Amino acid sequence: MTARNCPECNGLVASTIDICPHCGYRFGAEPKSTQRRGVNPYNSLVWSVVGLIFVPLFGLISIIFYLMSDGRWSAGDAAEAEKYGRWSIQFVKIPILVFIAFIVIFLVFILIMGLSNAA
């Protein structure tokens, strides 16, 4: 009988046993230490706050997706975290671009009306 070290607790475990008696690690399963930790790279709270300022309804929806993305990230589900993070950013960027386009069109209209009244 041979022994192996547990990747979680580094305890010595017989090769005939599939579960570490020291920490409960299951051999053949993904170790807990490889779960993603740290900051969620897939979303941005800054975009959500900017959205709340310029387009409040879409900013609120963006914050909801931001929180869902962070929850999925904390649970170790990077694929779902990325999906919700992208939705969080898209729910703000598109309305802000429409808002900026509306302001530019409005300013051009004011400029044209001002020039036509001056003539």
Q: What is the pLDDT of residues 45-84, one digit of tens each?
A: 888 888 888 888 888 999 999 999 988 888 888 888 889 9
Q: Are residues 82 and 110 in the same domain?
A: yes
List, in sequence order, the alpha helices (H) in 19-75.
Answer: 45-54, 56-74
| pLDDT for 65 | 92
Locate tokens 């950013």: which residue?
89
Q: Are residues 15 and 61 in the same domain?
A: no
Q: Are residues 44 and 62 in the same domain?
A: yes
Total number of domains constituting the chain = 2
| pLDDT for 106 | 95
Helix 45-54 / helix 78-118 crossing angle, nearest 10 deg: 40
Q: Is the pLDDT of residue 34 over 60?
A: no
Note down the domain range covering 114: 38-118
